[in-house]
Chains A and B, each alone.
Chain A
Amino acid sequence: MIRGRGLEKRFGRKRVLTGVDVDVPRGGFAMVTGSNGSGKTTLLRLLAGLARPTRGELDVGVDRSRLGYLAHEPLVYRELTAIENLDLFGRLYRVPERRERIGMVLERFSLWDARHDRVSTYSRGMTQRLALCRTLLHDPELIVLDEPYSALDESGATLLDHELEALAAERTLVVSTHDPDRIALLATTTVALG
């Protein structure tokens, strides 16, 4: 599904990625590891189509309607409630049976009771769970997750463990992490940077 050869990314004179190769087959689970500043986020932004490689070839086998991307930032509006955010993205992604689907993802990530609260009142962990809801709302085929465990408490992390286990069986995943042990058993490929 993803094939990248000799990927390089520069920001001005600063070279963030150099000669990175990535191969993730359909249904695969790629774990991206590396120290701070090694280019994990940049690589994931390339895969999501938010940035273009300066050099190299990259082929991602899905269009953006079938891609779910969890960034460092939650990509949700602080002044809107969880349900308003998901309704907006559900409309833009043309999610069928939108209301039911929104209810389902909010339940899955234990946010149903806080659905009418503004995101600005959420804790970091709740915001991260809402970001996961937004990422998975349209049931994407390729899921790109940048440090999904950040800000999650132990119960949130355990919830995400179960989600990733379920998703790994039927979707293609690329996950960057500082804690490789947590997802090592699920990973079929490892991309080590830096």
Chain B
Amino acid sequence: MTYLADVVALTRKDLRIELRGRDTLPAMLLFVLATLVVFHFALPEQSGSGAAYGLLWVAIVFTALLGLARAWVPEHEHRVLDGLVLAPCDRSAIWVGKALATFAFLVAAQVVALPVFAAFFEPLDATALVGVLLADVGICAVGSLMSAMAAAGRSREVLLPLLVLPLAIPLVVGGVGTAVSADPVRFLLFLALYDGVFAVLSWASFEYVVTE
């Protein structure tokens, strides 16, 4: 129960900081909407739905990257991460709190972006929406860890995409698969497996990322 209480306190802190500063979510929203508008005009009319779904996933991944790039900024101002690391809570709770907050921002951006996508291209069915949510879990789990690693370095803006994008490839494959495949359940299971494996790996390795 104390672990859960720590996670709730840390997530609530991130949501509160975002509500005050509005640094992350508006940028994610603007980015994803602008990207969809550009794609709407860039994609030839005869292009199939497969191309549109592919572009949607490009927009989702890069929107997530935008959120992840900001994720640890409050901890690095005033070096608050040192304070969190010194606290006697399980250090993985810091990662869980950050991943949950990033997930909330990404879902909030998608709540606006997916209807726009449906208006410009075509709507996602229920299976594809579940695919989007599963991919969100994976990208936030892995991305929060990679973002913590990148934030510790000097060139985090360069490092973050280099760390996250290769790991996001399976999520894009799974996400597009759930939307276009005749057997989407296979891709949902693949995404769930990815989430499980990478969430456990990230959870277990976070302590080594934030301590010397």
Instruction: List chain A residues, Cβ under 8 A from B74.
Output: 77-79
| CA A66 to CA B134, docked complex, whole Å | 40
- Is B212's beta carbon under 8 Å from chain A? yes
Cβ-based interface call for B78 (8 A): yes
What separation, in Å, do the CA atoms of A52 and B211 have in the docked complex? 9
| Interface secondary structure of A, over-half rule | loop
Residue of A nearest to B75 (CB): A77
CB within 8 Å of B: which A24-80 residues:
48-52, 63-65, 67, 69, 71, 73-80
Q: Are A84 and B16 in contact (CB under 8 A)?
A: yes
Q: Is the interface of B mostly helix, strand, loop or mixed?
A: helix
User: Do A91 and B5 touch (CB < 8 A)?
Assistant: yes
Known: A75-B78, A75-B80, A94-B2. A67 touches B86 (CB 8 A): yes
Residue interface mask B4-24, A partner, CB < 8 A = 1: 011001100100110011000
Residue on A nearest B18 in the bound complex, by CB: A79
Instruction: Kindly list chain A residues whose C-beta atoms are within 8 Å of the C-beta of B180.
Output: none
Q: Are A92 and B17 in contact (CB under 8 A)?
A: no
Bound together, the chains give a CA A84 to CA B9 distance in angstroms of: 10
Interface range for A: 20 to 34
Asked, given contacts A75-B80, A91-B5, A92-B6, whether A48 binds B13 with beta carbons under 8 Å apart, the answer is no
Determine the residue in chain A with the shortest Cβ distance to B6: A92
CB B11 to nearest CB in A, in angstroms, measures 11
Query: Residue B116 at the A interface, CB < 8 A?
Result: no
Pick the contact of A118: B5, B6, B20 (CB < 8 A): B20
For this complex, 21 residue pairs linking A to B, each with C-beta atoms less than 8 Å apart, are: A48-B86, A49-B86, A50-B85, A50-B86, A51-B212, A67-B86, A71-B83, A73-B79, A75-B79, A75-B80, A77-B77, A77-B80, A78-B78, A79-B16, A79-B17, A79-B20, A88-B10, A88-B13, A92-B6, A92-B9, A92-B88
Given contacts A75-B79, A92-B88, A93-B87, 11 further A-B contacts (CB under 8 A): A50-B85, A64-B87, A75-B82, A76-B83, A77-B13, A80-B17, A80-B20, A84-B13, A88-B13, A89-B83, A92-B84
